[in-house]
């Protein structure tokens, strides 16, 4: 069967189906794609077959879009923990970290793995590899409400165990039996499936705190969930040269939790991107939804994070209590017109009413209503068309299942519907995701380097992009030229390289394929231009907020290790 699949110049689903049916399992049934891939690897696992494996697996790869942005995203969730917020729109599923529901795919995986970071990471990598995806370049996305409110001991342990899993997986070591033996029982399934948001007798924090107190006495969680900075740094050093490297680490938190101390701590953990729940740019709407911070806090947080070099992903919600379609669109417009904001990435969420959210009471009293479908689509279309070339829209709807939504849109492909409507009426989408080259081949020598310059609250931003003649994005770099005094001595006199990203299907380290854009020197070309711009602007050094797994790459470009950043003279 493998010979037949490999021999065909082009393999379409119908041809594959015919081949598989000609070679059934011994006894009964048909081989799955993951089993065929496993069989190929068993027959040709030596390194000399590696490039052939890339081509063979690409023919069978399931859900290829998952790694077409150049990295393999691995999402893990922290265990339930009290939250500093009192947001009325937030679900109160006490089995999950705040704002998440047990039916969401990522939440289900976390619960299946008892919220253990090692098990979540290792099993997710295994699942990717089984269906044909490379796992060399991992973007680790840590979700679970307000990261900055978690105990520092737990933070260090959680991230270390994620790195341990990547290091072991890349070295073909399976540490799951030991992790399973040490993992505390999830136990949160014992708690009520839902709280009634309209008549909360006890809050999410009260229920979860009481349970964790009981579990802490039984399982001595604090004895297990701890790691020193030295232990974390050792795991990071191993990951610098591992076969499964962390090339990006994302943490999510609230604007009012951002301080210089917190920024430094997140940087020591290895974070490169911060997801920030700004939700609205109206103080009135934030107050009505009991968000617990104002717009001024968002301005301060974004400015500090940008000065520290982080990539910024904002969360923005429409249809909140007190908002109108007009105010939502106007607020979204300010998100990019006001230089204090201008995020690099964005999650755009319509408010969906969940039974456990306190908003249920306002809905029952007629004080809040979900926008009708047509009205909501008009709002989303107006927002999406305003997104500039330097921003990427990561998501337009939560993964809530339809049966969890009491009121609000249940259209799972809401983004696709809105974008199709824009295109049908001749509109244009300019955001990064709409222009990614994905799996298309291109002539890398013909790529044009374009410098898009815009102002931020901290200085001047340069979005350097390499694009094809038909406006497909092959790679980009984010360069900040900050004004004023740096927040850290290490960054004094530095321009900041906040991100380098080359698109196209993710390839294993050291591999190249004809026509693909990864590993063709595009990153070096972008960095050379950034050094030139920084030098011309009068900066003596360029500091890069490198991920743990990209440190080796930047060393090859002449960057030297600092305390929290890698630096190079301009």
E-only strand ranges, 243-354: 245-253, 273-279, 311-318, 345-350, 353-354
Q: What is the pTM of this model?
A: 0.88
Which fold does the domain 275-435 belong to in CATH? Transcription Regulator spoIIAA (3.30.750)
Alpha-carbon distances, residue 123 vs 101, 108, 167, 363 (angstroms): 21, 13, 13, 40
The CA distance from 472 to 481, in Å, is 26
Domain with CATH 3.40.630.30 in the chain: 436-569
CB 207 within 8 A of CB 188: no
The CA distance from 522 to 444, in Å, is 8
- Digit-by-digit pLDDT tens for the chain (570 residues) are 666 666 666 666 666 667 766 777 766 676 666 566 666 655 654 444 444 555 665 655 555 555 566 799 999 999 999 999 999 999 999 999 999 998 888 999 999 999 999 999 999 999 999 888 899 999 999 999 899 999 999 999 999 999 999 999 999 999 999 999 888 777 777 776 667 877 777 889 988 888 887 755 555 565 688 899 999 999 999 999 999 999 999 999 999 999 999 999 999 999 999 999 999 999 999 999 999 999 999 999 999 999 999 999 999 999 999 999 999 999 999 999 999 999 999 999 999 999 999 999 999 999 999 999 999 999 999 999 999 999 999 999 888 888 899 999 988 899 999 999 999 999 999 999 999 998 778 889 999 999 999 999 999 999 999 999 999 999 999 999 999 999 999 999 999 999 999 986 555 555 555 555 555 799 999 999 999 999 999 999 999 999 999 999 999 999 999 999 999 999
The CA distance from 135 to 244, in Å, is 6
What confidence score (pLDDT) does residue 131 get?
A: 85
Domain with CATH 3.30.750.200 in the chain: 275-435
Which fold does the domain 436-569 belong to in CATH? Aminopeptidase (3.40.630)
Burial of 203 (0-12, 13-18, 19+ CB in 10 A): middle
């Amino acid at each position: 069967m493998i010979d037949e699949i490999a021999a065909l110049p082009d393999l379409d689903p119908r041809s594959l189906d015919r081949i598989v049916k000609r070679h059934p399992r011994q006894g009964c049934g048909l081989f799955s794609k993951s089993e065929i891939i496993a069989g190929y690897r068993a027959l040709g696992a030596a390194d000399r077959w590696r490039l052939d494996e890339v081509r063979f697996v690409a023919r069978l790869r399931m859900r290829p879009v998952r790694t077409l942005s150049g990295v393999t995203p691995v999402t893990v969730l922290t265990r339930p923990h009290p939250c500093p917020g009192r947001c009325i729109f937030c679900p109160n599923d006490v089995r999950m970290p705040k704002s998440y529901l047990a039916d969401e795919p990522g939440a289900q995986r976390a619960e299946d793995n008892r919220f253990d970071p090692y098990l979540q990471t290792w099993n997710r990598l295994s699942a990717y590899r089984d269906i044909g995806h490379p796992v060399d370049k991992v973007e680790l996305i840590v979700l679970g409400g307000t990261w900055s409110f978690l105990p520092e001991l737990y933070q260090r342990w959680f991230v270390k165990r994620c790195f341990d899993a990547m290091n072991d997986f890349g070295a073909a070591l399976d540490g799951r039996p030991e992790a399973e033996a040490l993992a505390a029982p999830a136990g949160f399934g014992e708690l009520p499936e839902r709280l009634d948001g309209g008549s909360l007798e006890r809050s999410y924090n009260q229920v979860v705190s009481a349970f964790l107190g009981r579990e802490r006495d039984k399982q001595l969680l604090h004895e297990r969930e701890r790691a020193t900075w030295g232990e974390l740094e050792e795991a990071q050093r191993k990951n610098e040269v591992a076969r499964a490297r962390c090339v990006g680490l994302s943490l999510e938190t609230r604007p009012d939790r951002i301080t210089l101390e917190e920024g430094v701590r997140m940087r020591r953990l290895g974070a490169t991107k911060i997801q920030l729940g700004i939700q609205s740019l109206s103080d009135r709407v934030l107050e009505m939804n009991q968000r617990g911070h104002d717009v001024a806090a968002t301005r301060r947080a974004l400015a500090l994070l940008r000065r520290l070099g982080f990539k910024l992903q904002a969360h923005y919600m429409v249809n909140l209590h007190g908002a109108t379609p007009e105010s939502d669109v106007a607020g979204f417009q300010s998100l990019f017109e006001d230089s204090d904001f201008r995020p690099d990435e964005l999650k755009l969420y319509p408010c969906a009413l969940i039974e456990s959210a306190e908003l249920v009471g306002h809905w029952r009293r007629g004080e809040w209503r979900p926008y009708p479908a047509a009205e909501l689509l008009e709002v989303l279309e107006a927002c999406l068309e305003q997104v500039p070339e330097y921003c990427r829209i990561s998501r337009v709807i939560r993964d809530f299942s339809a049966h969890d939504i009491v009121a609000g849109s249940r259209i799972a492909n809401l983004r696709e519907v809105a974008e199709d409507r824009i295109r049908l009426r001749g509109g244009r989408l300019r955001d990064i995701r709409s222009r990614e080259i994905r799996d298309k081949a291109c002539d890398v020598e013909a790529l044009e380097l374009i410098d898009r310059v815009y102002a931020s609250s901290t200085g001047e931003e340069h979005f350097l992009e390499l694009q094809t003649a038909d406006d497909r994005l092959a790679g980009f770099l984010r360069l900040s030229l900050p004004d004023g005094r740096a927040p850290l001595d290490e960054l004094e006199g530095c321009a900041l390289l906040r991100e380098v990203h080359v698109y196209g299907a993710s390839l294993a380290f050291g591999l190249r394929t004809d026509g693909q854009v990864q590993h063709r020197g595009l990153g070096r070309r972008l960095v050379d231009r950034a050094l030139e711009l920084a030098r011309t602007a009068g900066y003596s050094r360029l500091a890069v907020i490198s991920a743990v797994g990209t440190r080796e790459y930047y060393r090859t470009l002449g960057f030297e290790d600092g305390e929290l950043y890698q630096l190079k003279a301009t």
